């Protein structure tokens, strides 16, 4: 046995040292891409930094006072809650339904799984551009399909008021379209997370419920859902984080319009800070995402802990 092998074995046996060595890349990543930008955002939020004048002057809470007097900020805040809550509910529910389909044994399920995961693996901007064409006010294939089946444009049709739906031109339809595209993109991720929880359920429990005469619905609500609630909560947490911090879908589809009807905090912070050049005010708007995300994460994680204790 060589003398150099002993120190190497000693290092390999030090669990504490190895733990820090393995965690160091993640710590550096978090510090570089989360902590440093957050500190910079706090610094910019209390300054008068603009794109035309990058010199730093401390102005206190003046940017926040301007934000509170801005009606677009309050509308963006309300839209953020609407966008997040509706998206989260749909993502979790549809993810649960899709996960049940994906674990079923049927012919060609691997192809179905590939097609289901495609929206998540597709770059968000590319997918949003495809939806921008499909929701076009003039050449929308969705409008064409509705017209062909008699639901649009014909007398007595369900949508007979006009020849087109103007999905991105009407405030209510624009918000619904943005939510639909966002749900389409994130539902596969939710389905994969929930599917992992479904696969982990012991088969003995389901078989025992079958022996006791429990039907499909009873097994679903008394066995499957209670056993997968922690996993569903994790899917909801990921959905909340991605929804709160997403602006790509809004930016590509509506650019916050019409008349700021689809403006959310992330898009408004970008428009004020980057497009508008007011870096200080943009940073102040972006900081409002932190307490909202923190509150949502704490609430969901506390709910998961209570579920695990039970």
Q: pTM above 0.85?
A: no
Q: Can you list the domains of the chain with their CATH numbers?
A: 72-309 (1.10.3720.10)
> What is the pLDDT, as a whole number, of residue 156?
57
**Rounded distance between C-alpha atoms, residue 48 and residue 66, angstroms:** 12
Q: Does residue 38 carry a pLDDT above 60?
A: yes
Identify the burial level of 219 via C-beta atoms within 10 angstroms of its C-beta, where 0-12 means exposed, 13-18 middle and 19 or more buried.
middle
> What is the pLDDT, as a whole number, of residue 75?
93
More confident residue, 259 or 212: 259
% pLDDT > 70, the chain: 90
Q: Which two tokens stand for residue 214?
A: 């429990």
- Give 187-239 pLDDT, tens digit per residue: 988 988 888 888 887 778 777 878 777 787 888 877 788 888 888 888 888 88
More confident residue, 86 or 204: 86
Q: How confident is the model at residue 10 (pLDDT cuts 50, 70, 90)?
A: low
Closest CA to 234 of 304, 184, 302: 304
- Give 56-80 pLDDT, tens digit per residue: 888 888 989 999 999 999 999 999 9
**Contact between 273 and 279 (Cβ < 8 Å):** yes
Q: Does residue 103 carry a pLDDT above 60?
A: yes
Lowest mean pLDDT among 89-93, 159-163, 304-308: 159-163
More confident residue, 1 or 80: 80
> What is the pLDDT, as a whole number, of residue 308?
63
- Give 143-185 pLDDT, tens digit per residue: 888 888 877 766 556 665 556 788 898 888 999 999 999 999 9
């Amino acid at each position: 046995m060589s003398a150099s092998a002993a120190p190497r074995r000693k290092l390999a046996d030090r669990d504490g040292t190895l733990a820090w060595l393995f965690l160091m890349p993640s710590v550096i990543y978090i510090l570089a891409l989360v902590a440093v930008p957050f500190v910079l955002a706090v610094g910019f939020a209390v300054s008068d930094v603009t794109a035309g004048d990058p010199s730093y002057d401390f102005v206190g809470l003046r940017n926040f006072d301007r934000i509170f007097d801005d009606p677009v900020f309050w509308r963006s805040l309300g839209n953020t809650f609407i966008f997040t809550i509706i998206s989260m509910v749909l993502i979790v529910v549809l993810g649960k339904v899709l996960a049940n389909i994906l674990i079923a044994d049927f012919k060609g399920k691997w192809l179905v799984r590939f097609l289901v995961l495609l929206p998540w693996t597709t770059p968000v901007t590319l997918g949003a551009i495809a939806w921008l064409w499909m929701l076009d006010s003039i050449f929308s294939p969705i409008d064409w399909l509705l017209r062909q089946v008699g639901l649009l444009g014909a007398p007595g049709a369900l949508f007979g008021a006009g020849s087109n739906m103007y999905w991105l031109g009407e405030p209510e339809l624009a918000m619904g379209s943005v939510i639909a595209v966002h749900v389409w993109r994130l539902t596969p991720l939710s389905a994969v997370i929930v599917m992992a929880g479904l696969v982990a359920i012991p088969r003995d429990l389901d078989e025992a419920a079958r022996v006791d005469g429990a039907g499909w619905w009873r097994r679903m609500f008394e066995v499957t859902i209670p056993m997968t609630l922690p996993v569903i909560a994790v899917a909801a947490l990921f959905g909340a984080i991605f929804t709160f911090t997403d602006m790509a879908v809004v930016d590509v589809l509506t650019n916050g319009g019409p008349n700021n009807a689809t403006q959310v905090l992330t898009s408004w912070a970008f428009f004020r800070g980057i497009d508008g050049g007011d870096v200080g005010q943009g940073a102040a708007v972006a900081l409002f995402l932190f307490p909202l995300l923190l509150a949502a994460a704490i609430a969901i994680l506390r709910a998961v802990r209570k579920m695990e204790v039970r």
